[in-house]
Structure 1
């Protein structure tokens, strides 16, 4: 029943936002105005207050053991579950503070140690509470219904209780559950090592650009300079960055292999048929959804290749290369926005959802829920964390002033609003929504932003830029993330077959899938063999079948947004109900209530229609410009 296994999972961003605060340099944190830094004092006024709260919580852990062997009584079960929820909620707040303090500067060992300390306490609690599910498994549905009738307070736990019974075949004995709980701390090791090494200690290269400036190609520098308008610079950036990564491919390979082995260990221990089944079963999602996504994308690669041909045409290159894919395709259009300008754009974009929604977004800005700019040692990328149930969500950004960064802001605010509405409308046991629906809200916000921008912009070049940005989002979300999903499935299958998985083997596997998707053999897009080590750059592979949900969520968000844009009666209300639902039902069922059936190909087909419609408009504009 505990939410501890979800406390540590922050919501990663759709596309990495490795960017710099200003051209040529990154500012120190002390140089950034407080208005652009998150206010972690809302969680705890000081590190000392956090430490006191941690120690106070640690002193309460043994209290959960007084209910061992007594959960066959309704009143006792309710008291136990209430304590478990209260402790889990407190852990969420503790972990949020420590992890976000660490993310401010990954070089500072103090906050890394604080995060590890709370993880150790969480592990201890998981061990003490490991009897809960095994004892609930001994009950049956009829007994639980009788308990709820006797103790109405159990109603908020109905979903969790029935879900435990649903997964009864995969629950273990109390002793075995305790062992798995103790092993959880070790299972997170590979991901933690990857994060520290790639963000703080990896020796990234430095190169000279065509204008004479020098660029450090850390993750932020790579993301910035790979979109250069100078093709020679783009190629040099790719060559230097991936050569550096490739030198450590065996190290990255061992890290990822260790993570895969940990996942396979729990899969076998819990008697699942595959790692995929185990990962999806937590939210009762049929594995057919995953396989169908890959099949649908594979069947629509011609549409993807149409996009790539369009990119090639607009870039004016004879051969489209992988290093060209991030380059701006509309000359003399480089959309840049200060963060204050981005705030105005996003606030205007979300107004169709009503004043309450827009008002909360305004609070996120004015009450400092957001950490805006990149600083030395800061965690790369972006995320939204809603783990502090009694406070408010937080957002980490690395804002650089490009339209992509505005889109990332809208994306993370979508996560934040999902967390805010779920936490507001659901009791703690039902507030935690599934990853499967998490990316719907974020992608929906991006759709609102694009819609607002296209409505306002009449200039053909600017429209071309925005339309291509939308296509780039489909490329990065539906096609690229499904490519990742297929790679993740195949490497798990190798481990399940007990085959060796080295850095070289992962590079060969990733390269083959990458070339398939981008039509390398068909001459659509040239992929240098060196770039097949890209798998080592993707942190999401440490999250166990996470990335496919970006793709399914994009298609769901597209369908929901189309209804709002079209003024369909009740569309806004259904959407707000959706982000308020939390985990009150299984994710597939929550989406059905919003009007979407994700077990069909309908949402995917709507996305392909939108993609082709966008390309039709781009080709029409290009035809006008030729005349």
Structure 2
């Protein structure tokens, strides 16, 4: 019953510098760079007290059983009670989750997360009668309810969407079983997360005469090294160590596939893809067309790879070269304060309120900025605590990519903040399909701002190169992931077993196709076969394609924000405030982008080619 899904909108981007990677003890970091979770609960004891209260309070939902369709007033009371409980439980989970993410080694907070998973499961079982009862409503009856009880208008989208899904809902007994099944359905993901973040025995790498433990964060440092031997060694050591656990990691991913398959069959869907996309009423053609369009435009991606080869001055480009700096001796490093200043200035086209709230996020400790031992890797924005403000987890390491990641997550935060402010809690969630639009558009604005400040050819090459890196990572790489995900889900759907060795083979073949291995554009070494086991998003079930679709949508919208009218900018801000009042494709149409057409994709490919052309012109001018 509309428990919020935006518990965590995450993007796994990594960039590390030696100076920051040495700051490993959380207690030694300045307070201003650590998020203030007391805005959620003052103490762990206050959290527990609230959890205990809700555990008793939620039993009252049973009093509505068998009565939901009797009157509009009873229906409204039940929906309001459920919305309130869902909001409070989500806040509890957010606190436990973020406390755990500060240091994944602390078992207390991992235990609190488990307690919340159990609480959600218990509550889902208690409310399992609700949707089956609601599905018995006839069209004329629900219309009469809306007419007689104005308060139900808040729940109109939820109710009409639920009725749209009649064929995918079961009886009360079936819904109760599905609710309890959540106790085990997330085990594969939880095991993977704990193993990879807290217990994985990473290998050692020797750099400048020092032996360093190679982990998820500093792997990103060393794979971006200017020393080719260092980055080659980093890939070999990191992926080889992953491959030692190929069977275990293959089993966890296969377990996740089977969990998705179970739910798709239990809900009467034709496939796990259809099941995943139906939540937002998104046609499966959107997914298939993305994969098709990217495959039809791999020449543009290969043009970028050839440009990288030219800029690096290498005879042959290898996969381990793809994260190295494009421009020699241009150190695009930024302190946190410099990044904040650039970000705030870049956001001015979005208006005063947007800028003011963004400034609050930096000044009022909404952000956990630096890495520390045991901290969850990557970055995310958590905007699920409706009555509080959103939070951002970062692992900031001082590079341009970190500044881009920071404004990216700030885009998520502003999306959550504006929709929470404008919409009732029941409509304050938003589809993952649109979740990456605000974040990617923020990045577009930052790139545009930085390019306007910088005239030096080498620095411009670095900024333009960063844009292409974003295109590589968000459009092409995420679509490659999406295609891989579709392949493995379809294979599981046919009842075929998939081992770690099978995942290796499928992933390597696909990666070599995307990077032009057989055309000698970029050589993908055998060890890259293990990269699939490094990607946590494969446990999110058809999540990653939305990075790519959002990227194309934001490319079109950024043009309107930067060069359009005030009306265009207002339409975009209205979009950020719309929550789940419409289906995501409809919301984007209101904002000015039709994802049913090829236009957003074609505009994005055109922009990528223009950037490549400008960089080629600069290189020729520089005699390179």
TM-score with structure 2 setting the length: 0.99
**1:123 alignment counterpart:** 121
Pick aligned residue for 1:105 from 103, 106, 110: 103
Distance, in Å, in 2 between the alignment partners of 1:299 and 1:257 is 30
**1:93 alignment counterpart:** 91
- Give 3-state SS (helix, strand or coil) of 1:204's partner: coil
Cα gap change, 1:403/1:58 in structure 2, threshold over 3 Å: closer, same or farther? Answer: same
Kept in 1: contact 2:21–2:218 (CA 8 A) = no
Answering whether residue 468 of structure 2 is matched by residue 488 of structure 1, we say: no
Pick aligned residue for 1:42 from 36, 39, 42: 39
Distance, in Å, in 2 between the alignment partners of 1:142 and 1:214 is 72
Aligned pairs (5 A) from 1:416-565: 416-565=413-562
**1:2 alignment counterpart:** 2
**1:352 alignment counterpart:** 349
Deviations 1:546-597 (A, max 9, x none): 0000000000000000112213341211110010000010000000001111
Distance, in Å, in 1 between the alignment partners of 2:531 and 2:456 is 37
Give the drift of 1:16.
2.0
- Give 3-state SS (helix, strand or coil) of 2:592's partner: coil
Distance, in Å, in 2 between the alignment partners of 1:173 and 1:281 is 20
- Give 3-state SS (helix, strand or coil) of 2:518's partner: coil
Distance, in Å, in 1 between the alignment partners of 2:21 and 2:479 is 34
Answering whether residue 166 of structure 2 is matched by residue 146 of structure 1, we say: no
Kept in 1: contact 2:15–2:402 (CA 8 A) = no
**2:72 alignment counterpart:** 74
Give the drift of 1:532.
1.1
**1:406 alignment counterpart:** 403
Q: How many residues align?
A: 623
Kept in 1: contact 2:202–2:238 (CA 8 A) = yes
Give the drift of 1:604.
0.3
Deviations 1:178-229 (A, max 9, x none): 00000012111111111111011000011112x2233321001101110000
TM-score with structure 1 setting the length: 0.98
Pick aligned residue for 1:583 from 580, 584, 589: 580
Give the drift of 1:26.
3.2
Aligned Cα root-mean-square deviation (Å): 1.1
Pick aligned residue for 1:397 from 394, 410, 413: 394
Cα gap change, 1:193/1:20 in structure 2, threshold over 3 Å: closer, same or farther? Answer: farther
Deviations 1:14-47 (A, max 9, x none): x422636725623311111110000000000000
Pick aligned residue for 1:616 from 613, 616, 624: 613
Kept in 1: contact 2:390–2:416 (CA 8 A) = yes
- Give 3-state SS (helix, strand or coil) of 2:426's partner: helix
Pick aligned residue for 1:206 from 204, 207, 211: 204
Pick aligned residue for 1:194 from 171, 192, 195: 192
Kept in 1: contact 2:505–2:529 (CA 8 A) = yes
Distance, in Å, in 2 between the alignment partners of 1:394 and 1:347 is 17
Kept in 1: contact 2:20–2:370 (CA 8 A) = no
Distance, in Å, in 2 between the alignment partners of 1:451 and 1:459 is 15
> Any stretches of 5+ residues in structure 1 without a counterpart?
none
Deviations 1:432-484 (A, max 9, x none): 00000000000000001000000000000000000010001000000000000
Larger deviation, residues 463-472 vs 16-25: 16-25
- Give 3-state SS (helix, strand or coil) of 1:59's partner: helix
Distance, in Å, in 1 between the alignment partners of 2:185 and 2:21 is 39
Distance, in Å, in 2 between the alignment partners of 1:465 and 1:378 is 30
Distance, in Å, in 2 between the alignment partners of 1:77 and 1:376 is 49
Kept in 2: contact 1:215–1:221 (CA 8 A) = no
Distance, in Å, in 2 between the alignment partners of 1:324 and 1:100 is 34
Give the drift of 1:621.
0.3
Answering whether residue 175 of structure 2 is matched by residue 184 of structure 1, we say: no
The runs of at least 4 consecutive aligned structure 1 residues that moved more than 4 Å come to none
**1:56 alignment counterpart:** 53
**2:379 alignment counterpart:** 382
- Give 3-state SS (helix, strand or coil) of 1:581's partner: coil
> Any stretches of 5+ residues in structure 2 without a counterpart?
none
Deviations 1:362-405 (A, max 9, x none): 00011100000000000000000011000000000000000000
Kept in 1: contact 2:104–2:198 (CA 8 A) = yes
Kept in 1: contact 2:35–2:366 (CA 8 A) = yes
Give the drift of 1:361.
0.3
Distance, in Å, in 1 between the alignment partners of 2:249 and 2:23 is 27
Larger deviation, residues 23-32 vs 231-240: 23-32
Distance, in Å, in 2 between the alignment partners of 1:58 and 1:400 is 41
Distance, in Å, in 2 between the alignment partners of 1:60 and 1:623 is 70
Distance, in Å, in 2 between the alignment partners of 1:201 and 1:69 is 48
